[in-house]
A and B are shown apart, each in its own frame.
Chain A
Amino acid sequence: MLAAGFTDPVHDAQGTFRAVMDALARPGLSRPLAPGLAPPAPLTPELAAVALTLTDADTPVWLDAALADVPEVAAYLRFHTGAPLTDDPAQAAFALIRDPARCPPLDRFAQGTPAYPDTATTLVLALDAITPGEGLRLTGPGIKGAVRVTLTPLPEGFVAQCAGNRVGFPLGVDLILTAPGRVAGLPRSTAVTEG
């Protein structure tokens, strides 16, 4: 049977959106996110919450291999959001990534255009953990001074990829990072360095 969506569609979506908005406005600081969803595995409740909150018929969604291999995931997303699924990351408004270690290079997703940088893909990653401190050092708009955060797991060469993503500013992708019960943001405006 198809798993249920939000219990309270209006307020659960609003709560999820505010957590995501605050996360992107203050990069690297994670917020609580408790959507109360039980989507088909391997789709996580947090990925599902972001998808149900932000995607609809206007937003092509790309699924990584871990999610695309399970037909129940596509059926769940199609039923609850109506979003078209796409195989081409460069066409995606949103990309759901269950297996961040095998995330395609960030420059394979839509980067936006110089006149319309908002047409870039928003990647939503399901991490195992977002831990304050150590790890990566983030600076940029939304961050008072600098913030440190440890993200696990990450794709290979993530820091270099982020540098590449920022070089073309205002072009580039934006990342919504989720972990069990948490959400953090990493917009293209953020500079990411190691240590």
Chain B
Amino acid sequence: MSATGIPERVGHLPPRKGEEGSSEAGYNFAYLDEGTKRMIRRAILKAIAVPGYQVPFASREMPMPYGWGTGGVQVTAAILGRADVLKVIDQGADDTTNAVSIRRFFARTSGVATTTRTTEATIIQTRHRIPETPLSEGQTLVYQVPIPEPLRFLEPRETETRQLHALAEYGAMHVKLYEDISRHGHIATTYAYPVEVAGRYVMDPSPTPKFDNPKMDDCPALQLFGAGRERRIYAVPPYTRVRSLDFEDHPFRVQEFTAPCALCGARGHYLDEVVTDDSGGRMYVCSDTDICETRVAEATR
């Protein structure tokens, strides 16, 4: 890993030069100004009070392009404190570009401790995965969300989708899932699989694989969702019912993998396909790098 300039993925990362416990000169703690944090904090509180409802907020320009997690970054910046330990994952991995750059961003602008260990983190910002290690009560999971509106591809007008949510009129979503069944024989939606939160709002869980949907239900950790370009924040409080939409005769099912992880041998984890040569060779490995490395280290000890 060090050959690519990416830090080793072991426990607490050493602070880089100029990052030791202090924030970048000229910037406020965690980059955002206090007025912006107040506005985002108010939106987060309302999001928690109305689980699954998308609260509009005045999303700011961030020093990274839309689509790179500006919503999640703003939510993290608004909640982050000096005592926090931050973990950032991108598709389950701590060492991919998006995760590394966001983790460095907060290390530089806030000086907080960062980690790759799920169990050590108090705040985990994620792009499209939920860690395999069960989350605990003291943790907050911050999702980066590209398109927060689950009904957007069924109804492009925001004025209309607002009304549909107000009336809890989610028939169109069920029709969409039914069309999957009539076309493919099963519900073919595999990511961004719609969920109903606390028996009221239908919510987009962000483009996580549906494999992760059951982890959102009755989760001990607080889950916050930030969409920067679309300017929405929503939340699922701890111990909240999150139900994946389905039908009695076509119940919700997650992906299954026939082979175990090629590195750690785990079953029941979400696996990534890795192409190993140009003649069709491939292997399947855990998408969650932290749990995979922990298991490999334990096995070799």
Q: Are B237 and A26 in contact (CB under 8 A)?
A: yes
Given the known A-B contacts A21-B48, A24-B48, A26-B237, are A13 and B34 also in contact in the complex, defined by CB atoms under 8 Å?
yes
Q: Are A189 and B198 in contact (CB under 8 A)?
A: yes
Cβ of B50 under 8 Å from chain A = yes
Cβ of B80 under 8 Å from chain A = yes
Which residues from chain B contact A117 at a C-beta distance below 8 Å?
46, 50, 53
Given the known A-B contacts A11-B81, A11-B82, are A142 and B237 also in contact in the complex, defined by CB atoms under 8 Å?
yes
Cβ of A10 under 8 Å from chain B = yes
Cβ of B185 under 8 Å from chain A = no
Q: What is the count of residue pairs linking A and B with beta-carbon distances less than 8 angstroms? A: 112
Given the known A-B contacts A17-B79, A21-B45, A118-B43, are A189 and B51 also in contact in the complex, defined by CB atoms under 8 Å?
yes
Q: Mark A179-194, 1 if CB is under 8 A from B, else 0.
A: 0000000011100000
Q: Are B162 and A115 in contact (CB under 8 A)?
A: yes
Which residues from chain A contact B200 at a C-beta distance below 8 Å?
169-170
Q: Are A14 and B49 in contact (CB under 8 A)?
A: no
| A169–B197 alpha-carbon span in the complex (Å) | 13
Cβ of B55 under 8 Å from chain A = yes
| A142–B81 alpha-carbon span in the complex (Å) | 22
Which residues from chain B contact A155 at a C-beta distance below 8 Å?
none
Which residues from chain B contact A20 at a C-beta distance below 8 Å?
45
A23 shortest CB reach to chain B, Å: 10
Q: Are A18 and B48 in contact (CB under 8 A)?
A: no
Cβ of B35 under 8 Å from chain A = yes
Which residues from chain B contact A174 at a C-beta distance below 8 Å?
45-46, 49
A158 shortest CB reach to chain B, Å: 18
Which residues from chain B contact A56 at a C-beta distance below 8 Å?
35, 38-39
Which residues from chain B contact A115 at a C-beta distance below 8 Å?
162-163, 165-166
Q: Mark A111-122, 1 if CB is under 8 A from B, else 0.
A: 001111110101
Which residues from chain B contact A189 at a C-beta distance below 8 Å?
49-51, 198, 237
CB closest residue in chain A, given B84: A18
| A159–B262 alpha-carbon span in the complex (Å) | 57
B118 shortest CB reach to chain A, Å: 20
Q: Are B41 and A17 in contact (CB under 8 A)?
A: yes
Most buried by A among B50, B163, B235, B241: B50
| A1–B35 alpha-carbon span in the complex (Å) | 26
CB closest residue in chain A, given B29: A10
In the complex, which of the residues A59, A113, A116 contacts B42, with contact meaning CB atoms closer than 8 Å? A59
| A114–B53 alpha-carbon span in the complex (Å) | 11
Most buried by B among A9, A10, A15, A113: A10
Cβ of A136 under 8 Å from chain B = no
Which residues from chain A contact B41 at a C-beta distance below 8 Å?
17, 21, 53-54
| A45–B43 alpha-carbon span in the complex (Å) | 23
| A170–B29 alpha-carbon span in the complex (Å) | 34
| A117–B39 alpha-carbon span in the complex (Å) | 16
Q: Are A187 and B49 in contact (CB under 8 A)?
A: yes
Q: Which of A1-34 contact B (CB under 8 A)?
A: 9-11, 13-15, 17-18, 20-22, 24-26
Which residues from chain B contact A170 at a C-beta distance below 8 Å?
50, 53, 200-201
Cβ of A84 under 8 Å from chain B = no
Q: Are B80 and A14 in contact (CB under 8 A)?
A: yes
CB closest residue in chain A, given B166: A114
Cβ of A141 under 8 Å from chain B = yes
Which residues from chain B contact A188 at a C-beta distance below 8 Å?
49-50
CB closest residue in chain A, given B45: A24
Excluding A24-B45, A122-B45, 9 further A-B contacts by CB distance (< 8 Å) are A11-B82, A17-B79, A21-B79, A59-B42, A114-B166, A116-B162, A118-B47, A141-B236, A142-B238
Interface residues of B (CB under 8 A from A): 28-29, 34-35, 37-39, 41-51, 53, 55-56, 78-82, 162-163, 165-167, 198, 200-201, 220, 222, 235-241
The 4 closest A-B pairs by CB, nearest first: A114-B166, A187-B49, A142-B237, A118-B46
24 A-B pairs with CB atoms under 8 Å apart are A10-B28, A14-B80, A14-B81, A17-B37, A18-B79, A21-B48, A24-B45, A24-B49, A25-B235, A25-B238, A53-B38, A56-B35, A116-B56, A117-B53, A118-B43, A118-B56, A120-B46, A140-B198, A143-B239, A144-B220, A187-B50, A188-B50, A189-B50, A189-B198
Interface residues of A (CB under 8 A from B): 9-11, 13-15, 17-18, 20-22, 24-26, 53-56, 58-59, 93, 113-118, 120, 122, 140-144, 169-170, 174, 187-189
